[in-house]
Structure 1
Amino acid sequence: MADQRVLIIDDDRLMRNSLVDLAEAAGWVTKALARATDAERWIDQFQPDVILSDVRMPDVTGLDLLKSLVVAPPMVLISAHGDIPTAVEAMRHGAYSFVEKPFDPKRLLLILSHAAQAHQMQQRNVRLKERLRELSGVDRVLLGQTPQMQRLRDTIAMVAGADSTVLLQGETGTGKDLVARLIHDLSARCDGPYIAVNAAQISAAHLPYIAREASGGTLLLDEIGACPPDVQPLLLRMIDAGETLAPDTGLPEKVDLRIIAATNEDTDASVKAGGLRADLMFRLNGFAINLPPLRDRRDDISLLAMRFSQEFASLYDSDPPALRDDELSTLMAHEWPGNVRELRNLMDRRVMMARHGITSLHDAMSAHDTEGAHKSGLREAVAAFERQMIAKAIQTHAGRMEDVARELGIGRRTLNEKIVKLGLDKTALL
């Protein structure tokens, strides 16, 4: 409680000193005023978590002060002349609580503590929302003005301030991993490690090493519905007791980490089918966040498409191709089984193909197979064309990759990614 601050306002010197002694004995940082006339200045300077004020004072009463403050911490009013009308009016104007003299010291301290905690939580959420808006890369997941996305942003800011387990549920491509990373980046653990693993591929022997690596930070367990049965009781112990078994001795070893689980499956069905332990699911579901599919927020599609188009145009050092009305209509009508990831990949192809003279969105969409089946056609033709251009440039510049990237008009990182994606062997070309 040492970080809790109370501004005490009372014109009665004995009562004022008594309240200061009571609060400081309980660990509060205090500032005392004999008049409410200077209260606003001291609120700005002292930054209290709660204001404790007498009601009846000369010049400015506690009730007058309550009515005049626009932005202020919670206010608790105290008076020897308290009556029902005064209490009702105080609460109507936003007082946190109203206490009559003589009061129970323990009850007063409890009221002040609750008021301060509420204020600190509100301030923390404000700071988290501001930080959320400032984080680079947030727009990739959270860009959008639909009510669903506004709620998601607010929920992430709220959840990040706690340290409970989180369950992220959403279809493939809705951004579960990136939302998990945001929660970590906005949390008090942001300076610690962020480790993401596929829960389906964890072994019991491997889990202690993962826990050690993530200690002090956040562990994302993706595809939690496919977690092996022998690993689940170990995860349960990690959540309940904050410990795992040391791999070298087999003895309990303390770990300090936050667990976020993610799934695109129906967890209730997984529990009923026996794939997931009900007690583990209960503990993982400390706070559930459902990520909306793109088809349920169609008003965001055009905004996302234009943002991704600009992003990839900047990456490829080209102008973003314009989207015609009929193409926007096509985007709006599509069901987006791959969600935001599918739209982002589509705009990547659209910009890349536009650089080679293929400017139709419909061609870019036809080059994509959402079911993953291999098809010959435009996609393969474009890949072959790029492979040929990059190979020729590598040979022309004798493997000097800065010169190769400059000739192709792309960044060095983009060039490296394409070499890997296209399966080019630089050594074989030289």
Structure 2
Amino acid sequence: MTGGTGLRALIVDDDKAMRASLCELLEAAGWQVEATARAASVAELLPPLAPDVILSDMRMPGMSGMELLASLDRATAPPVVLISAHGDIPMAVEAMQNGAYSFVEKPCDPRRLLSILRNAAERHRMARDRDRLKARLARLSGLDRVLLGQTSDIRTLREDVLALAETDTPVLVTGETGTGKELVARALHDLSPRAGKPFVALNCATLPDTRFEAGMFGVKGETTGTLTASDGGTLFLDEICACPEPAQAKLLRVIETREIWPIGAHAPVKVDFRLVCASNEDPERAVAEGRLRADLLYRLNTMQLALPPLRARREDLALLFRHFLDLHARTHEIAPPDPGPEDIAALMAHNWPGNVRELRHVAERRVLAARRGRGSVLEAIRADTAFSEVPDTLREAVAAFERELIAKAIQAHRGRMDAVAEALGIGRRTLNEKIVKLDLDKDALL
């Protein structure tokens, strides 16, 4: 076989000598060719071969060329060119009426046959590419409604999500709390060929060491584990850096083997899932600190998507805010309040530590105030400040508490680290490690 044209043909003819002759003719012209003696086998051959054209004999034992033509789905099947030594005008007319691309009598002029096949194949490829483009544009339009925004970072993110959705490549999504990591994970699933299968989300910070196997693998005859539930679909592991160390080794083994052992089972069970993970901290730092296995990270971050914080995409603030206002106004059955210049200024002045999630909360507070005939964006931001800082998990809450406590001690003792460590009841080395881990800037506090 040669691949000069890149075009693919499937030849169907019960005559062995004719099959060989047609294969030789097409291969010499640079085609990729497969051949079969039975028309009944075409249905099995089409998906793996994906030919651009089918060249079929008209009269064959079993299924004839006309019957083959009638069995194919015209919307998806490649064009069919029929060839016969017994053809006449009525037969040719019937073949064309039944959907054949062309009809050729034996013996045929090789150049004419090649020209007909090439035209049929190229027409099929153009139609297929056009359909793919239409589907891609429709998916892009849907993605545009999910990942709303016009900044260059968001446009690039949409393009990356659309491209990666078509693959089974593991993806690691990073970004601050509230930037929409699970939203991106769901988009990767919803736009993928796995969209009809389950999307299973799991927060790694909640994985108990003692019940890992039962929860993840299931118990034979009793419960279905998380991994089994995600079979065929997408498994989303949130806060991967918080995954308990014993669970990391077991998870790595599943990722490598795609097998699980339900408790009580006598044989492993195969699982097929697409893996998407997320982290609101730098996974490389987690590896350096010994909290995340380097070999696990290697398996997870084949591709990485970094989500920008809301403060880095201020051009999108007004657009996003109006979107959330419309959303909440429909929920509460009122007309959305129209943000004025002072409202837009308040949006731009705020730093949005809670990112898009905080913006959504502020929009809902503004709508609820509008129901009572009052309110402003600034008031909604101030009312939400106490809530936007609340961490989502216990681990984040502990880190936030430690950060605040150490910062206050540094300020109270004016940077004298021995005194700070003594006041906190910890060693100086432990204090230094926590300052690095919590990303505290001592100079900025003084």
* Common fold: TM-score over 0.5: yes
Greater Rg, structure 1 or structure 2? 2
Q: How does 1:295-306 map to 2 (within 5 A)?
A: 295-306=311-322
Q: Counterpart in 2 of 1:105? A: none
Whether 2:389 is the aligned partner of 1:371: answer yes
Give the 3 Å change call, closer, same or farther, for CA 18–5 of structure 1 in structure 2.
closer
Offset from partner CA, 1:111-162 (integer Å, 9 cap, x none): xxxxxxxxx8x98687345324236xx63x4111111111010000111111
1:130 to 138, 147, 152: 138
Q: Counterpart in 2 of 1:6? A: 7
Give the 3 Å change call, closer, same or farther, for CA 309–259 of structure 1 in structure 2.
same
1:270 to 256, 264, 286: 286
1:321 to 332, 337, 340: 337
Offset from partner CA, 1:377-406 (integer Å, 9 cap, x none): xxxxxxxxxxxxxxxxxxxxxxxxxxxxxx
Q: Counterpart in 1 of 2:151? A: 146
Asked whether the 8 Å contact 2:172–2:277 carries over to 1, the reply is yes
Give the 3 Å change call, closer, same or farther, for CA 20–264 of structure 1 in structure 2.
same
State the SS of the aligned residue for 1:145: coil
Task: Give the whole-Å Cα distance in 2 for the aligned partners of 1:30 and 1:41.
Answer: 10
Q: Displacement, 1:334?
A: 1.2
Q: How many residues align?
A: 294
Task: Give the whole-Å Cα distance in 1 for the aligned partners of 2:347 and 2:361.
Answer: 13
2:201 to 196, 201, 207: 196
Task: Give the whole-Å Cα distance in 2 for the aligned partners of 1:229 and 1:125.
Answer: 45
Q: Counterpart in 2 of 1:159? A: 164
Whether 2:241 is the aligned partner of 1:225: answer yes
Q: Displacement, 1:315?
A: 1.4
Q: Counterpart in 1 of 2:176? A: 171
Give the 3 Å change call, closer, same or farther, for CA 198–18 of structure 1 in structure 2.
closer
Task: Give the whole-Å Cα distance in 2 for the aligned partners of 1:235 and 1:349.
Answer: 41
Asked whether the 8 Å contact 2:172–2:276 carries over to 1, the reply is yes
Q: Displacement, 1:44?
A: 6.6
Give the 3 Å change call, closer, same or farther, for CA 283–7 of structure 1 in structure 2.
closer
Task: Give the whole-Å Cα distance in 2 for the aligned partners of 1:279 and 1:174.
Answer: 27
Q: Counterpart in 1 of 2:34? A: 25
Per the normalisation by structure 1, the TM-score is 0.62
Q: Counterpart in 2 of 1:243? A: 259
Give the 3 Å change call, closer, same or farther, for CA 313–302 of structure 1 in structure 2.
same
Offset from partner CA, 1:65-116 (integer Å, 9 cap, x none): xxxxxxx99xxxxxxxxxxxxxxxxxxxxxxxxxxxxxxxxxxxxxxxxxxx
Offset from partner CA, 1:289-331 (integer Å, 9 cap, x none): 1111111111110111111111111111111111111220111
Task: Give the whole-Å Cα distance in 2 for the aligned partners of 1:342 and 1:39.
Answer: 60
Task: Give the whole-Å Cα distance in 2 for the aligned partners of 1:158 and 1:123.
Answer: 17
Asked whether the 8 Å contact 2:8–2:32 carries over to 1, the reply is no
Q: Displacement, 1:191?
A: 1.0
Whether 2:354 is the aligned partner of 1:354: answer no
Asked whether the 8 Å contact 2:26–2:114 carries over to 1, the reply is no
Q: Displacement, 1:18?
A: 3.9
Q: Which runs of 4+ in 1 moved over 2 A?
A: 13-22, 25-45, 122-130, 249-253, 370-373
State the SS of the aligned residue for 1:275: coil
Percent identical:
38
Give the 3 Å change call, closer, same or farther, for CA 233–202 of structure 1 in structure 2.
same
Asked whether the 8 Å contact 2:198–2:233 carries over to 1, the reply is yes
Asked whether the 8 Å contact 1:160–1:184 carries over to 2, the reply is yes
Task: Give the whole-Å Cα distance in 2 for the aligned partners of 1:348 and 1:28.
Answer: 51
Per the normalisation by structure 2, the TM-score is 0.59
Give the 3 Å change call, closer, same or farther, for CA 263–364 of structure 1 in structure 2.
same
Q: Displacement, 1:42?
A: 4.0
Q: Displacement, 1:45?
A: 3.7
State the SS of the aligned residue for 1:216: coil
Give the 3 Å change call, closer, same or farther, for CA 181–28 of structure 1 in structure 2.
closer
Task: Give the whole-Å Cα distance in 1 for the aligned partners of 2:113 and 2:163.
Answer: 37
Give the 3 Å change call, closer, same or farther, for CA 185–362 of structure 1 in structure 2.
same
Q: Counterpart in 2 of 1:421? A: none
Asked whether the 8 Å contact 1:164–1:287 carries over to 2, the reply is yes
**RMSD of Structure 2 on Structure 1 (CA):** 3.3
Q: Counterpart in 1 of 2:216? A: 207
Q: Displacement, 1:249?
A: 2.6
Asked whether the 8 Å contact 1:216–1:257 carries over to 2, the reply is yes
Q: Displacement, 1:35?
A: 9.6
1:187 to 164, 173, 192: 192
Question: Structure 2: which amino acid aligns with 1:6?
Answer: L
Whether 2:63 is the aligned partner of 1:47: answer no
Task: Give the whole-Å Cα distance in 2 for the aligned partners of 1:245 and 1:222.
Answer: 23
Q: Unaligned stretches of 5+ in structure 2? A: 10-21, 36-48, 54-109, 218-224, 392-446
Asked whether the 8 Å contact 2:353–2:389 carries over to 1, the reply is no
Asked whether the 8 Å contact 1:5–1:29 carries over to 2, the reply is no
Task: Give the whole-Å Cα distance in 1 for the aligned partners of 2:367 and 2:179.
Answer: 22
Give the 3 Å change call, closer, same or farther, for CA 125–270 of structure 1 in structure 2.
farther
Question: Structure 2: which amino acid aligns with 1:254?
Answer: K
Asked whether the 8 Å contact 2:347–2:377 carries over to 1, the reply is no
Give the 3 Å change call, closer, same or farther, for CA 40–358 of structure 1 in structure 2.
farther
Question: Structure 2: which amino acid aligns with 1:46?
Answer: H
Q: Displacement, 1:246?
A: 1.7
Task: Give the whole-Å Cα distance in 2 for the aligned partners of 1:198 and 1:18.
Answer: 55
